[in-house]
Amino acid sequence: MSAGKPRDKAAVMNWVRRNSPTREELLASRFVKPFAHRVAHSHLWRFTRTSVPRGTALGLFVGIFFLIPGVQILGVALLALPFRANIPIGAAMTFLSNPVTTPFIIIASVWLGDWLFGLHANSVTFSAMIEHGASAGEWVRWVFSDAAPAMLAGLFVISLVSAIVGYILASIFWDNWIRLRWRRKLARARDQRHEASTSDTAAG
């Protein structure tokens, strides 16, 4: 069990690295380029005990509430400075809302907004429109019906809860990751001292 946990943590970190844009890539983005001076600060790219959970929370909130890819990255980049959040982590978290998950997020948002606030939206209509391939005009009419306030209310609640849960889990994960790295360093130091001691004994 203990052998699996380090591998799981390494897999998570590798996923983050693969999906996180580099500093140069993000600054070159046409969405972010006009605001490059705001997101170029080095502290927004450091992986620390506070910036990683904040980046996770920010990325989840922006990624779920703003379902447009360009807006997501731009939102994370601009909000990272006042929240002192890690930009690569935040940008990677926005990928959790994607073409596969977005329909489910919208359905859940409409249903939740209707249930919590009594907005009388019909989430069944959304599924029916997907099945018969609704036109752009039909989607616009649906969004600006009762579905719009229900979806926005539901999106806000889901985004907020996801951000809070993500912040807590990222804090726990990061603390465990740091402890794991320190244990590995201490183990390597002990092994080196043991090897040096063994070499001195053999030489004597």
Cβ-defined contacts of 28-32 (< 8 Å, 24+): 29/73, 31/70, 31/71, 31/73, 31/74, 32/73, 32/74, 32/77
Which of 136, 170, 139, 150 lies closest to 57, judged by CA? 170
Cβ neighbours of residue 142 closer than 8 Å, sequence gap 6 or more: 125, 126, 129, 134
The string of DSSP letters for 150-189 reads HHHHHHHHHHHHHHHHHHHHHHHHHHHHHHHHHHHHHHHH
Q: How is residue 22 annotated by DSSP? A: P
Predicted local distance difference test score (pLDDT) of residue 3? 47
Please measure the distance between the N-terminal and C-terminal CA atoms of the chain and give it in whole angstroms.
42
Predicted local distance difference test score (pLDDT) of residue 17? 64
Predicted local distance difference test score (pLDDT) of residue 53? 94
The range of the structural domain enclosing residue 49 comes to 4-203
pLDDT tens by residue, the chain, 204 residues: 444 555 565 666 666 666 666 777 776 666 666 776 677 777 788 888 899 999 999 999 999 998 887 788 888 888 988 899 998 899 889 988 888 888 889 888 888 888 887 766 666 666 677 677 777 777 777 767 767 788 888 999 999 999 999 999 999 988 888 888 777 777 777 767 766 667 656 555
pTM surpassing 0.75? no
User: What count of residues does the chain have?
Assistant: 204
Predicted local distance difference test score (pLDDT) of residue 2? 46
Count of structural domains, the chain: 1
Predicted local distance difference test score (pLDDT) of residue 156? 94
Predicted local distance difference test score (pLDDT) of residue 50? 92
Predicted local distance difference test score (pLDDT) of residue 9? 56
The string of DSSP letters for 39-84 reads H--GGGG---TTHHHHHHHHHHHHHHH---HHHHHHHHHHHHHHHT
Q: Is 120 left (phi over 0), alpha (psi -120 to 50) or beta?
A: left
**Distance set, CA 68 to CA 64, 76, 90, 133 (Å):** 9, 12, 15, 20
